Structure 1
Amino acid sequence: MTDLRGRTVIVTGGARGLGAEAARAVVGAGARVVLTDVLVDEGRGTAAELGDAARFVPHDVTSEAQWQRVARYTVAEFGAVDGLVNNAGISGGSHLLEEQSVEDFRRIVDIDLTGVFIGMRTVVPLMKQGAGGSIVNISSAAGLMGLAMTAGYGAAKWGVRGLTKVAAVELGTARIRVNSVHPGMTYTPMTAHVGIERGEGRYPRTPMGRVGEAPEVAAAVAFLLSDAASYITGAELAVDGGWTAGPTLRRPAGG
């Protein structure tokens, strides 16, 4: 069982979806959590559900000033920052490269990539003052392969993957581990609008034949935050049902 007792973790985009499940997993493993989001009512509701071990802070991850406020609040409430889950992000919809506007591309990269950079830049000094820490950056299967109609999103998620490795190399001797998690198609409020169906056999594009569930991704996040992953840094963990491993095997009818 993942053990995070005595730790304090910041989870961005924690109001719902993968972020909320990550917060639940962290608290379930014994940690305290500060979850942040621009969705204020939902964020407060999730924090209330998690009880005394959770706090909520409204937060735009593209703002350095707001990141500083989150860090100060976390230290004031819980004394330290031991973990960070950079989960906040947007998909930006599906557009061919030549159809995606420059403004839309920049907005996606600002939230999905620059927000991750600012977050790490903010918490690293605090982790260095303590006993180190663990950072988990949520990328995507789109950060492991070329996925059509995701120019902004794909570029940002590849950037998260690369930034994770740079940080891991720089911070290893400071006892700060940095890893990325790459979910495949996972059922969340952000993906529900595309009409995916849950259940066995409902998503044949993956070898496992189904979409992922948010708690499955959250379990991987909690593992990487914990001492069970003490010698893992600079890694990318695909939680995608085998989607990025290769083409799904298609047997002929009756085969």
Structure 2
Amino acid sequence: MPIDDLKTLFVTGGGGGIGLEIGRICARRGMNVVLADIHRERLDATVTTFDGPVLGIVMDVSSFAEWARAKQEAEARFGAVDLLVNGAALPPGMSSILDMPVADFETRIATNLSGVFYGVRTFGANMRARGYGHIVNIASEAGLVPMAMLGDYGAAKFGVVGLSGILRIELAPSGVGVTVVAPGLTRSNMTVGMGMDARYVAAAIVEGVRDNAPFIITHPNVRAALEKVHARQIAAIGAPAQPGYENAKTRWE
């Protein structure tokens, strides 16, 4: 479905960074905008800067019950949501896996991976039934290439990449698009002014939605590391582990 035909955006992490900038672009396009964020003061201040129709919803994406409440509020105000952007995330704990507190790992999986699944689960079925819509899941370079000290964050973001690829295959027959974004360091409330300007990342995402791009990778410096990862994977494919084994037909063939 052309992006200009999408009427209502629901974006998590909408209080700042990429989520906020996507909201601003969509507002300029005349869309209804729902900004969801866990920080009430930040969200309230942000909503006042919008001229068009906008709704701020305070929510914790790691709670499926809060997703249900947010959906009800959004639809009561604007009707069906046809562009979902899962952008909320917690930063990495910066600890080695073996030294990582269990609670830290569980918290980041709950927000950075389960939170994405909950969003998809909340809005995706209605999009499928209507036969149009688009879902954007914001992952990270750390979901493409293993990075030391990012075990909690990277595990969640690798999960987002995998979930998005599967979802794209499953929703393609219904006309619903799915795009996964893997940005590098970007200025946001998490990064204290470091990284790429979020406005440019957001613009690339909106352009990718228009093209129904499967991937959006905004920081090209990841190319060399990603090529090495893929080369090692391909090199690991040899003869069957069981001599004479013939593969059964698989879904990707």
Please indicate, yes or no, whether the TM-score normalized by the shorter chain is above 0.5: yes
Deviates more, 1:53-62 or 1:70-79: 70-79
Q: State the Cα distance separating 1:153 from its structure 2 match.
A: 0.2
Q: State the Cα distance separating 1:224 from its structure 2 match.
A: 3.0
Q: Which residue of 1 aligns with 2:237?
A: none
Q: Which residue of 2 aligns with 1:107?
A: 107
Structure 2 CA distance for partners of 1:46 and 1:138, relative to 1, 3 Å = same
3-state SS in 2 of match to 1:91: coil
Q: Does residue 1:41 correspond to 2:41, yes or no?
A: yes
Structure 2 CA distance for partners of 1:109 and 1:239, relative to 1, 3 Å = same
Question: Which amino acid is 1:215 matched to?
Answer: R
3-state SS in 2 of match to 1:52: coil
Count matched residues: 224
Counterparts of 1:4 and 1:74, CA distance in 2: 20
Counterparts of 1:129 and 1:159, CA distance in 2: 25
Question: Which amino acid is 2:87 matched to?
Answer: N
- Residues 190-238 of structure 1 deviation map (CA, whole Å, 9 limit, x = unaligned): 1127xx4xxxxxxxxxxxxxx311011111221233xx314x3xx2211
3-state SS in 1 of match to 2:9: strand
Counterparts of 2:162 and 2:6, CA distance in 1: 30
Structure 2 CA distance for partners of 1:6 and 1:116, relative to 1, 3 Å = closer
Q: Does residue 1:180 correspond to 2:162, yes or no?
A: no
Q: Which residue of 1 aligns with 2:217?
A: 238
Whether the 8 Å contact between 2:93 and 2:152 is mirrored in structure 1 is no
Counterparts of 2:31 and 2:82, CA distance in 1: 10
Q: State the Cα distance separating 1:155 from its structure 2 match.
A: 0.4
3-state SS in 2 of match to 1:217: helix
Whether the 8 Å contact between 1:136 and 1:224 is mirrored in structure 2 is no
Whether the 8 Å contact between 1:6 and 1:30 is mirrored in structure 2 is no
Counterparts of 1:155 and 1:28, CA distance in 2: 35
- Residues 147-206 of structure 1 deviation map (CA, whole Å, 9 limit, x = unaligned): 11100000000100000011111111111111111111112221127xx4xxxxxxxxxx
Give the fraction of aligned pairs with identical amino acids, expressed as a percent: 34
Q: State the Cα distance separating 1:5 from its structure 2 match.
A: 5.5
Question: Which amino acid is 1:176 matched to?
Answer: V
Unaligned runs of 5+ in 2: 226-253
Whether the 8 Å contact between 1:143 and 1:182 is mirrored in structure 2 is yes
Whether the 8 Å contact between 1:37 and 1:43 is mirrored in structure 2 is yes
Counterparts of 1:169 and 1:131, CA distance in 2: 15
Q: Which residue of 2 aligns with 1:123?
A: 123
Counterparts of 2:129 and 2:166, CA distance in 1: 21
Q: Which residue of 2 aligns with 1:64?
A: 64
Q: Which runs of 4+ in 1 moved over 2 A?
A: 2-6, 128-131
3-state SS in 1 of match to 2:49: helix
Question: Which amino acid is 2:208 matched to?
Answer: L
3-state SS in 1 of match to 2:51: helix
Question: Which amino acid is 1:219 matched to?
Answer: A
TM-score, scaled relative to structure 2: 0.83
Q: What's the Cα RMSD here?
A: 1.7
Q: State the Cα distance separating 1:127 from its structure 2 match.
A: 1.2
Give the structure with higher Rg (CA): 2
Whether the 8 Å contact between 1:161 and 1:236 is mirrored in structure 2 is no
